[in-house]
Structure 1
Amino acid sequence: MGKRKFSLFELILTICFIIFSIMVLYPFWQTLVLSFSDPKQASGLGMSLWPERWIPDAYQFVFGYGSIMKAYINTIIRTVSGTFLIVAFTMLAAYPLSKKDLPYRNTITIFFLIAMFFSGGIIPDYLLVKNLGLIDTRWALILPTAVNVFYIIIMRNYFMTIDKGIEESAVMDGASYFTILTKIILPLSKPVIATIALWAAVFHWNEWFHALVYIQDDAKTVLQMIVRDMMTAMDLSQSSDAGAIGGSGSNENLLLSNVRAATVMISIGPIVLVYPFVQKYFIKGIMIGSLKG
């Protein structure tokens, strides 16, 4: 068989995708280069794709700032536990709602949809968290966001695409609904579970407002709050972006741009590392979960 020839359209499409990929990847690479660059080179880095010397001083400065390491650990704990709760509650709500014979199914769905479109606002949320005794606890960052109606609808729609004959066979063999959910449905639902887990992890990793409102103890704060405070303090202490950061030793000539770049890399690093492992499920999960009504 002869080699397949590319059509003109396929060639143009491939070139466009290559250009688009470069446009997406270049800012990320430029930030990485800037974070490791010598301050003298960074001040005129421009379009440089490789630093003259790889210098980790900016990362040393960031990791040495306040209680950032403790905040990093707090953020990891919050992200893991928060993602687990979101996925668990979403599955427990979506599975019964996927059953057409569930009593008052439409009423429950409407109730969920009303809660999705209308909320009480920050003051009722704060009063509720306070009355539950969750102020200044890690639960204040996890429990208020443990149920997301949009995720429930996506997962419910995915469950409705699974062949009902599989469940009927399991029921005839004496399996309970919980057994069916854990032993049959969940193994068949990896795409939608991975999709929702990724959404939940990104949300918890980047979210800082709840920590600002509910957390008073610095030992329980999260990474994004420390980063926010650090950037604010540095902005106020600098007259321009190119100013050198005051300090001692090898950090005394660091530029604000060096530290900002290092902070960005530290902040997004774990999410970037996790994404490739769930990417293969992502498109399939969101497409199937959004089609069936």
Structure 2
Amino acid sequence: MKKERASGRNIGFPKSGKIKKMWGDRIFDVINAVLMIFICLVIAYPLYYVLLASFTDPTIVNSGKILLYPENIFLGGYKKIFQYRPIWTGYANTLIYTLGGTAAAIVATIPCAFALSRKALWGRRVLNFLFTFTMFFSGGIIPLYLIINAVGIYDTIWAMVLPTAVSVYNLIVCRSFFDSNIPDELYDASKIDGCNDFDFFFRIAVPLSSTIIAVMILFYATSIWNSFMNALMFMGTQDKMPLQVILRNLVLSNQTSALTSSGTEVAQRMKMAEQLKYSIIVVSALPLLIAYPFVQKYFAKGVLMGAVKG
């Protein structure tokens, strides 16, 4: 028996311990790899194109040529942007709104999601239904504007922070995370040790939820950073406008000046207007691209762990 066991590894099993793949599996792996590379190129090239177009001569960009490397470097778009003084005010405002709005959103979303995940909460199903109902039916822009104006927060930072404090989609993701990863048995054990609800939430639930909190910070910060409709509706002072509105106004003013120009100025201004679009995309997205790698490792894990179970 010992000899059979000793020699058994040589009967039908490779010495390396790895199972050899069939030709069909190898062909599938090659086709799958080629397909994945193609999809990555399709997704990545537009981003690469925008980056190249932001500092390439607009004449080359407007010709429709496929850009693979920088040609005739032209930095007029970036010069126009950074010479525009409201840009720096817009950056500061957006940073304030993003930090304040994200903090308010986390403070509102995480406790609410944790409470809705507890089966002992009275009226849990009704509250979940009411939150979900707002995803499909809402009062609209005009009632929201009237409320913002009535409570006296129009043209203040609160008009940018409070309306975005809770996203129902993010709330459902967080609730599902707590449902799956904070079991009732853990809560019962903490109660036996004399832990009340607040202690359980702050000392046990929150430390165990760093993954989903990081994902929520990314979701809310990205949404607030890219938002400009709320600023157009709820902010009346130009000095309080966020970066996205400032950049939008810059593009519109440059296009308007191009249409009202005459002679050779029209072509020059139109070229500048086209390159401004690409430069503005880079300038507005750069902070998020810098911050994303620091939370990327939590992203997939947090979304999967907080996915709705069905």
Q: Which of 288, 294, 299 in structure 2 is aligned with 1:271?
A: 288
190-199 vs 134-143, which deviates more?
Answer: 190-199
Matched residue type, 2:275: N
Structure 1 residues 243 and 2: CA distance shift in structure 2, 3 A = farther
1:181-240 Cα offsets, whole Å, 9 max, x none, are 222212222332222222211211111111111111111101111111112222223359
Structure 2: how far apart are the matches of 1:18 and 1:190?
Answer: 33
Identity of aligned residues (%): 34
Q: What is the CA distance between 1:117 and its match in structure 2?
A: 2.4
Deviation at 1:13, TM superposition (A): 0.9
1:107 equivalent in alignment to 2:109:
no
Q: Please say if 1:292 is aligned against 2:309.
A: yes
One-letter identity of the residue aligned with 2:255: D
Q: Following TM superposition, by how much is the alpha carbon of 1:133 offset from its aligned partner in structure 2, in angstroms? A: 0.8
Matched, 1:281 2:294: no
Q: How does 1:2-151 map to 2 (within 5 A)?
A: 7-39=26-58, 41-44=60-63, 46-52=65-71, 54-151=73-170
SS of match in other structure, 1:50? coil
- For 1:80 and 1:276, how far apart are their aligned partners in 2? 18
Aligned-pair CA distance for 1:75: 0.8
SS of the residue corresponding to residue 161 of structure 1 reads helix
Tell me which moved more, 231-240 or 10-19.
Answer: 231-240
Give 2:247's aligned residue.
227
Q: TM-score, normalised by structure 2?
A: 0.83
Q: Which of 214, 219, 223 is the aligned partner of 1:194?
A: 214
Q: How many residues align?
A: 285
Shift in Å, 1:9: 0.9
CA distance in 2, matches of 1:286, 1:195: 7
Q: Which moved more, 1:123-132 or 1:5-14?
A: 5-14
Unaligned runs of 5+ in 2: 1-15
What's the offset of the Cα at 1:94? 0.9
SS class of match (2:105): helix
Helix, strand or coil: the match of 1:101? coil
CA spacing shift, 1:115–1:255, aligned 2, 3 Å = closer
**Which has the greater radius of gyration?**
2
**Corresponding residue of 1:178:** 198
Task: Report deviation, 1:86.
Answer: 1.2
User: Partner of 2:273 in structure 1?
Assistant: 256
Partner deviation per Cα, 1:158-198 (whole Å, 9 max, x = no partner): 10112333333322222232222222212222332222222
* Per-residue CA distance 1:121-179 (angstroms, 9 max, x = gap): 11111111111111111110110121222222211111011233333332222223222
Tell me, which stretches of 5 or more residues in structure 1 are unaligned?
Answer: 247-253
Bigger mean CA deviation after superposition, 173-182 or 122-131: 173-182
CA distance in 2, matches of 1:270, 1:179: 36
The 3 A distance-change label for structure 1 pair 115 and 30 is closer
Q: Distance in 2 between matches of 1:209 and 1:43?
A: 30
